[in-house]
């Protein structure tokens, strides 16, 4: 069966996925679509020097997976409210740290790497346990959802538009609160065991 783990081609592709990803190049339009930004944004960020297209002769305006990773991370930082410049700085620091960590892990022997990964897993399990203990028992997502719905209702009726500044602040509050509830809901799903 093609595409299954028993297929020899599938095993070769999985074994060489880093090499394949390293060779992948997309046009600005394709990369923008993959990264969920507009081509105009991607081109603007490139002109500002925040993102660099591939320099391997694949053609001007072709982007590799590393450039696309940076674009996605910048977009996510912008969604958190950072300015474009601050988002790019934060992302560059994150990527530099990740590359340094990958290099350090790559230099480890198999036993040392296994010990490192085991220690990281234990730390993650401890963090999950702390989160489970620290989440308030009375926390009600339904109440938070009702609060968001009420703010949206007030917004729809113009109650938050008493002045331009207050209205925009109200709209921003509704959006921020909605995103916070969504993020909290995801976190709760991740840290709470599934109900039986």
pTM: 0.53
* Residue scoring higher pLDDT (148 or 2): 148
Rounded distance between C-alpha atoms, residue 187 and residue 72, angstroms: 21
User: 70-106: per-residue pLDDT in tens?
Assistant: 999 999 999 999 999 999 999 999 989 988 888 888 8
Select the highest-mean-pLDDT range: 69-73, 147-151, 173-177, 188-192: 69-73
Rounded distance between C-alpha atoms, residue 155 and residue 92, angstroms: 38
Rounded distance between C-alpha atoms, residue 186 and residue 75, angstroms: 20
- CA-CA-CA-CA dihedral for 176, 181, 183, 184, to nearest 10: 140
- Alpha-helix residue ranges (DSSP H) falling in 25-163: 28-35, 39-47, 65-79, 84-106, 110-134, 141-156
CATH topology of domain 8-106: Multidrug-efflux Transporter Regulator; Chain: A; Domain 2 (1.10.1660)
When pLDDT is averaged across residues 145-161 and rounded to a whole number, the result is 67
pLDDT of residue 137: 47
Domains of the chain: which residue ranges?
Answer: 8-106, 141-191
């Amino acid at each position: 069966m093609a595409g299954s783990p028993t297929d020899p081609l599938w095993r070769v592709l999985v074994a060489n996925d880093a090499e394949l990803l390293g060779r992948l190049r997309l046009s600005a339009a394709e990369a923008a679509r993959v990264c969920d930004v507009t081509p105009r944004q991607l081109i603007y960020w490139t002109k500002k020097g925040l993102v660099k297209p591939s320099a391997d002769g694949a053609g001007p305006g072709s982007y590799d997976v590393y450039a696309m990773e940076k674009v996605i991370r910048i977009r996510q930082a912008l969604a958190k409210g950072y300015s474009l410049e601050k988002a790019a700085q934060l992302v560059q620091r994150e990527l530099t740290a990740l590359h340094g960590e990958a290099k350090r892990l790559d230099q480890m022997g198999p036993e040392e790497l296994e010990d490192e990964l085991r220690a990281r897993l234990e730390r993650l399990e401890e963090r999950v346990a702390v989160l489970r203990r620290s989440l308030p028992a009375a926390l009600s997502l339904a109440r938070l959802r009702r609060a968001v719905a009420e703010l949206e209702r007030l917004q729809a009726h113009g109650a938050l538009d008493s002045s331009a500044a207050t209205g925009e602040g109200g709209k921003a509050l509704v959006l921020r609160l909605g995103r916070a509830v969504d993020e909290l809901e995801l976190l709760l799903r991740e840290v709470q065991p599934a109900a039986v």
